[in-house]
Structure 1
């Protein structure tokens, strides 16, 4: 269930209340006249089944409530109420499958912003991966994958394509490209320093690496895994199961490939640098493709669910009439 806290202008409260009352899957409606001070107006509280949340939020925005008042949404971890159980049963579909598009857009907007923190995380992840490739240490590679924040901009690109949001697409693309460019440049400098103090060497990079050699050996399996990870990552975001994102992160070799390319360039190994870059691009393409297709399928599925729900409501109203 979701909890909505709305601030409505006094002259729009009745419209908002009617909208909530006719939306299938809502309950626990509370109206507090004149309770809001900034902005001034009434406060309307209600709970709504997650699977009905996106439709209600869209309708509230059509009323202009996001401009004249306020719409705040919270997840309810526990609700002991038969009315809530009834509302969830009446709402179309399953809550775990529901997509809150406004929440997804807001989340990806935040995660796909080129910030100091984002650059720091992707740089540190790339440096950890550089140590992993030189030492042929798979544990360091997995750690670097988990630390890397690159799925945020990738998810932003997928969301922007499906929602036709060019600003989000541009912001995400800038964060992705500039983030990797900065991380690779700083990792190259880090590699030079490590070489100067005798901790990195060209011999280590070009030696037989049974644990990390896959990083610069792109093939169809790399693309297939990236596609599967992209689909899993988008499902994780849309279903609010963020714990699955860790598994997604350590399934693809984006950060390790960038690290391997940076170290290889330092030692003028153009072969490894080129193949690592190919691995990186192959993974990015697979994730974006799968993520976009997953969101498109989810959007089509929920449109079908809501159409069926409307037809059933209209039929019931016709029988009652």
Structure 2
């Protein structure tokens, strides 16, 4: 379930409480009159089944509570309450299938911010992958995949396209493109420095690399894996199964492809460089395509479930 804490102007409290009471799947309504100081107003608390959360948030925004007051939403790990059990049973669908669009938009907005930390993670992940490329070390490649933060902007693009939010789309694309550009540039300089210390060499790059040669040799399987990973990544975000993102991160050759492109560029190997760039773009396209289709599919599934659901009476609750 979700826990909502709202600051509501006194004159809007009746409308808010009426909305909460008329939304199936809500319970534990508490009104603390005049408890809020900044902004001044009433504090309204309630719990809502995840399946009904998006509907309730939409109604609260229509009442402009996000503008004249505030709305805070927390996931509840454990609730020992018969009322909570009843509310979840009354709510339509299953919790795992519900998408809280406001929560998803907020999460992807935060993850797709072009910050120093984000760029640093991108550069460090790409440098680790560069070491894995030169050493033909699959462990380093997997480690670099796990460190890379690029799925945040990718998810942001997918969410923005489904929600028709051009600002979020532009923000996410800028973070994605700038992040990879800076990471590749930094890794190219890193490769030249490693070569100066005789730690990297052209011979290592040109040698047979059975564990990492796939990075710059894209094939149909690359696109298929990107599609599957994109769908799994978006599902992990919408269902709050964030642990699955680790598996997504180490299944797609994005950061390693950028690293191979950087090392190849440092040695003037344009063939490997363009092959790596092609692999990178192919994977990014596959992830975004699958992410958008998955979100649209979830949206359609949820509308179908709600269409079959008959709203029960809340009298006696």
TM over 0.5: yes
Q: Deviations over 1:123-157 (max 9, x none)?
A: 00000000000000000000000000000000000
Partner of 1:226: 226
Shift of 1:76: 0.6
Name the structure 2 match of 1:186.
Answer: 186
| SS at 1:184 equivalent | helix
Residue 300 of structure 1 deviates from its aligned partner by: 1.4
SS in 2 for 1:208: coil
Structure 2 contact 93–306 (Cα < 8 Å) conserved: no
Match of 2:44 in 1: 44
Question: C-alpha separation between the residues in 2 aligned to 1:308 and 1:35?
Answer: 41
| Counterpart position of 2:77 | 77
Give distance in 1, aligned partners of 2:2 and 2:175.
Answer: 31
Matches within 5 A, 1:105-254: 105-254=105-254
Secondary structure of residue in 2 paired with 1:242: coil
The DSSP-based 3-state class of the residue aligned with 1:32 is strand
Q: TM-score of the superposition, structure 2-length normalised?
A: 0.98
Structure 1 residue runs of 4 or more that deviate by more than 3 Å after TM superposition = none
Give the deviation of 1:56 after TM superposition. Answer: 0.3
Shift of 1:91: 0.4
Give yes or no for contact 2:125–2:147 (8 Å, CA) kept in 1: yes
Matched, 1:305 2:305: yes
- Correspondence for 2:89: 89
Q: Secondary structure at the match of 1:251?
A: coil
Structure-1 separation of matches of 2:37 and 2:305 = 39
Q: Name the counterpart of 1:260.
A: 260
CA deviations 1:279-307 (Å, max 9, x no partner) are 00000000000000000111111222233
Is the counterpart of residue 102 in structure 1 residue 102 in structure 2? yes
Distance 2:44 2:120 in 1: 42
Whole-Å separation in 1 of the counterparts to 2:33 and 2:303:
35
- 1:173-200 per-position Cα deviation (integer Å, ceiling 9, x unaligned): 0000000000000000000000000000
Secondary structure at the aligned position of 1:3 is classed as: strand
Alignment partners' CA distance in 2, 1:163 and 1:305:
20
Unpaired runs of 5+ in structure 1?
none
Query: What is the alpha-carbon distance in structure 2 between the residues aligned to residue 18 and residue 307 of structure 1?
Result: 23
C-alpha separation in 2, matches of 1:64 and 1:230:
34
* TM-score computed with the length of structure 1 as normaliser: 0.96
